[in-house]
Amino acid sequence: MSRAVNIAIVGAGLVGSAFINSLQSLRSSSIAYNIILIARSSKALVSKQYTPLPLKTWSSDLAAASSASALSPGDLAAYLEKSPLPVILVDNTSNEALARVYPLFLQQGVSIATPNKKAFSSELGLWTAIFKAAANLTGTEKRGLVYHESTVGAGLPIISTLKDLIATGDEIVKIEGIVSGTLSYIFNEFSTAGEGEVKKFSEVVFKAKELGYTEPDPREDLNGLDVARKLTILARLSGLEVQSATSFPVQSLIPKALDSVEEVSEFLARLPEYDAETEELRSDAAAQGKVLRFVGKVDLGDGVSDRVKVGIEKYDGSHPFASLKGSDNVIAFYTKRYGKNPLIVQGAGAGADVTAMGVLADVIKIAERIAK
């Protein structure tokens, strides 16, 4: 008899759709992944008898579903609790309300795989509640597992590597990384190691927006909060009790004078007025043979005052961060065992396909532990 798990998917946008496609094309799996629920905020397809949903037409079926089918987090919990097979909730949203219900799901034995950063980078109390409610694998108690690789660097093996280092007894000394694809692109274009053409910071931001690399409102990238959320997760996994993503220094790339601007269009129109500031930083660094990068750091070294911080840093032209390309992410783990040269992971850290891949890899890992 083959083993199986039930899968409930919340969030059916780009990542959710890529996830469903990848799951359907899984090669040579000996575990059956039965999708029993696909929901978006306004409606849901639910298999009342917990049998697999027909998937050929899920997208149009979901679009045709009535708004009465929408599920509250409480409805979802009540439904999943009665699943006859072990069940994995795949939360492909960035919904904070759903994240707040994770402890309840986990206590009920529902496992979770998710790229939802909100669950792990909001106030420390939620983090603690989630991991207290999750399975500690001590046996008879039926608790859920929670995996969240894609919360940092999408499908890149960042969370799993950090967890392996810590679980096997290594000591984290420092973590340093470029973990925003948008800000990676902007700084890779703005501050290059070679002699290339000098671009204005605002022009690079406009180009990034044009290419679809930024949020519709680029200030959501420029304020550094996305990087701060990811650093909160890395710092907490490293053992630091970080209160929230705003409890440590985060440099915003939004000029102070534009803080009170409301409209995106006005912000963008006025951004070029501040190019002189960024150009001064860039040319000062270049004069020292260095480039600028927007970096997050977790530093557990002795006597460090800001253990977590996010902002612009300078790197030598020969540093791995200096030769980064496109919108790639890179993360360097400095540990006691690895010594002077860090363990480095690099590659695309954003995009629906690689995010869905990280979630699917987590789903497989959970299923191998819980499938029946």
Q: Determine which one of 230, 297, 309, 314 is catalytic.
A: 230
> Counting Cβ atoms within 10 Å, is residue 67 exposed (0-12), middle (13-18) or buried (19+)?
exposed
How far is 240 from 299, CA to CA, in rounded Å?
Answer: 10
**13 assigned ligand-binding residue:** yes
Measured from the CB atom, the residue of 30 and 265 that comes closer to a second copy is: 30
Contacts for 250 with CB less than 8 Å, ≥ 6 apart: 223, 224, 225, 227, 228, 309, 310, 311
51 residue type, one letter = T
Measured from the CB atom, the residue of 80 and 348 that comes closer to a second copy is: 348
**358 assigned ligand-binding residue:** no
Measured from the CB atom, the residue of 206 and 338 that comes closer to a second copy is: 338
| Torsion 95-98-100-102 (CA) sign | negative
Measured from the CB atom, the residue of 25 and 66 that comes closer to a second copy is: 25
| Torsion 86-92-97-103 (CA) sign | positive
> Counting Cβ atoms within 10 Å, is residue 279 exposed (0-12), middle (13-18) or buried (19+)?
middle
Shortest Cβ distance from residue 179 to a second copy (Å)?
A: 15
22 residue type, one letter = S
**266 assigned ligand-binding residue:** no
Are the beta carbons of 345 and 158 closer than 8 angstroms? yes
How far is 106 from 269, CA to CA, in rounded Å?
Answer: 47
How far is 46 from 75, CA to CA, in rounded Å?
Answer: 11
Tokens representing residue 23 in the block? 């799951």
List residues binding a second copy (CB under 8 A).
1-3, 22, 25-27, 29-31, 136-140, 155-157, 160-161, 164-170, 193-194, 318-320, 323, 325-326, 328, 333, 337-348, 353-354, 357, 360-361, 364, 368-369, 371
Shortest Cβ distance from residue 171 to a second copy (Å)?
A: 10
**317 assigned ligand-binding residue:** no
Shortest Cβ distance from residue 127 to a second copy (Å)?
A: 16
| Torsion 19-25-27-29 (CA) sign | positive
Tokens representing residue 353 in the block? 């396909």
**212 assigned ligand-binding residue:** no
Measured from the CB atom, the residue of 54 and 326 that comes closer to a second copy is: 326
Are the beta carbons of 50 and 36 closer than 8 angstroms? yes
Measured from the CB atom, the residue of 99 and 331 that comes closer to a second copy is: 331
Shortest Cβ distance from residue 4 to a second copy (Å)?
A: 9
Shortest Cβ distance from residue 269 to a second copy (Å)?
A: 33
339 residue type, one letter = G
Shortest Cβ distance from residue 295 to a second copy (Å)?
A: 17
- Residue 365 a catalytic site member: no
**371 assigned ligand-binding residue:** no
> Counting Cβ atoms within 10 Å, is residue 256 exposed (0-12), middle (13-18) or buried (19+)?
exposed
**300 assigned ligand-binding residue:** no
**351 assigned ligand-binding residue:** no
Which residues line the annotated binding site for NADPH?
Answer: 93, 117
Which residues line the annotated binding site?
Answer: 11-16, 93, 117, 215
Catalytically active residues are: 230
